[in-house]
Amino acid sequence: MSASFAIPDTQKAWLSVRRGYPPSKSLELRNDWPVKKTLKAGEVIVKIHAAALNPVGWKNMRLYPDFIAKRPYVAEHDFSGVVVSANGSAGFKEGDEIYGWIQSAIALPTKQGALAEYLVVPAANIVKRPANISGIEAAGVSLTAMTALQALNFAKLEEGQTLFVNGGSTAVGAWAIQLAKVRGAKVVATCSKKNEEYVKKLGADEVIDYTSVGPLHTYLTQSPPSTKYNVIFEAVGQFDPSLFTYSRAYLQPNGTFVSVGPMPHEFNLSAIPGAFKWISALYLPAFLTGVRPKGKLVLVENKVEDMELLRKYLEEGKIKPTVDSVYQFHDALSAYEKLLSSRARGKVIVNVSLPPGTGSASE
């Protein structure tokens, strides 16, 4: 191994040490967290350059009790970096600039995450970073872009069809807009008035200011589009299933409704009725619920072919990452404050090991 890639025994890492919300009540910065060095076949060690924050990160801190989360564990999932040990993994060698993600199924048992200096992941979880995007930009691609891609794949969105995105300014919604335009689809998206220009720049053909129309399902029922939508993608995580249950008024009879999954404001007994409404609408027979559209909650999976397709689109300039802001590693709690403010346009990135000042918000 090259001396320039000497791997230390310990590292700095942000650990979830207790169940808590906001993240400042869960996270602690440690300077002595052990670096995992033992590699199984097909794994690599990555020196992390930057990490992206995702809602699933703080939701895990808020939701999972200790006996499930097995705390302490390193937070977050998306990263960019450089391979420092490949151990014969096909397609990668030391020095390769990469980006990727670590899903909860791997992260929790191994206590690993992206908010650390080093990470061991399967080679199937990373791809080589295109030269036309920076390490800061690449850090925020994998989880949200694959979620959007897999949602559109499930819905079989095609050229000439119309996609409705609820939450066009969310990270997943932003990728969905861009990917739909690559397919030649028309896109209608919701966002607040202040984000209208941002969402149109992503490629949305029409924008609905959700703050001015009242309940969205009521607005669309009373003012349905001249041609009903082929696909509705709920990218916000609304706990109220009304957009789905009323969708016969604005979704094609053979259309598809896809959601990133309902997310209540609090995880307690009061959330059970809302969860049951979603389950009933999606899975009970239509003659019992009155709901007929095809619906699915999309749970992102690691798929090499999806990672490679997204990398190809990035390299070709067909899709572009958007970065709202960049925070230094020691200031990760401030990054979470920005994420939770709901004012971020694009990804909130934590600079783990790149020179200070590297990267900036997207223009």
Question: Would residue 89 count as lying in a domain?
Answer: yes
Residue 302, domain member (yes or no): no
Of 93 and 283, more confident = 93
Cα-trace Rg, the chain: 21
Quick one: 117 and 158 in the same domain?
no
CB 121 within 8 A of CB 43: yes
CATH number at residue 35: 3.90.180.10
Same domain, 345 and 240: no
User: How far is it, in rounded angstroms, from Cα 46 to Cα 108?
Assistant: 18
| Residue 117 shares a structural domain with residue 173 | no
Would you say residue 172 lies in a domain? yes
> Does the structure show a pLDDT above 70 at 4?
no
Are both 175 and 283 inside the same structural domain? yes
Does 228 share its domain with 247? yes
pLDDT attached to residue 63: 82
pLDDT, position 11: 98
pLDDT band at 111 (very low <50, low <70, confident <90, very high): very high
> Is the pTM higher than 0.75?
yes
Q: What is the mean pLDDT of residues 158-181?
A: 97
Q: Looking at this protein, which amino acid is placed at residue 207?
A: V
Say whether both 14 and 71 belong to one domain: yes
Give the tens place of pLDDT for each residue, 131-156: 999 999 999 999 999 999 999 999 99
- Does pLDDT of 54 surpass 90? yes
Residues 152 and 30 in one domain: no
Examine the domain organization and report whether 99 and 34 are in the same domain: yes
Domain range for 29 is: 3-141+321-351
pLDDT of 178 > 70? The answer is yes
Do 75 and 116 lie in one domain? The reply is yes
How many structural domains is the chain composed of?
A: 2
- Which pLDDT score, from 0 to 100, does residue 273 have? 59
pLDDT at position 357: 76
Could you tell me if 25 and 18 are in contact, meaning their C-beta atoms sit under 8 angstroms apart? yes
**pLDDT for the residue numbered 263:** 62
Mean pLDDT of 2-13: 83
Q: Tell me the mean pLDDT in the region 9-30.
A: 97
Q: Considering the domain boundaries, does residue 250 fall inside one?
A: yes
pLDDT of residue 60: 87
**What pLDDT score does 272 carry?**
53
pLDDT at 47 over 60: yes
For residue 8, is it within any domain? Answer: yes
Q: Give the pLDDT confidence of 314-342 residue by residue, as tens digits.
A: 999 999 999 999 999 999 999 999 999 98
Q: pLDDT over 70 for what percent of the chain?
A: 89
pLDDT average, residue stretch 49-60: 93
Has residue 182 been placed in a domain? yes
**Same domain, yes or no: 243 and 326:** no
Q: What strand order describes the sheet that includes 162-166?
A: 206-209, 186-191, 162-166, 229-234, 251-259, 294-297
CATH at 164: 3.40.50.720
pLDDT at 279 exceeding the cut of 70? no
Q: Are residues 161 and 43 in the same domain?
A: no
Helix, strand or coil, per DSSP, at residue 259: strand
Amino acid (one-letter) located at 36 = K
CA 129 – CA 314 distance, rounded (Å): 9
Q: Is residue 184 part of a domain?
A: yes
3-state secondary structure 281-350: HHHCCHHHHCCCCEEEECCCCCCHHHHHHHHHHHHCCCCCCCEEEEEEHHHHHHHHHHHHCCCCCCEEEE
Q: How far are the Cα atoms of 217, 218, 227, 231 from residue 214, in angstroms, in the given order?
A: 9, 7, 22, 22
Q: Residue 280 above 70 pLDDT?
A: no
Together in a domain, 95 and 192: no
Residue 363: the pLDDT is: 42
Question: 60-84 burial, b for 16+ CB within 10 Å, e for fewer?
Answer: bbbebeeeebebbbbbbbbbbbbbb
Is 315 part of a structural domain of the chain? no
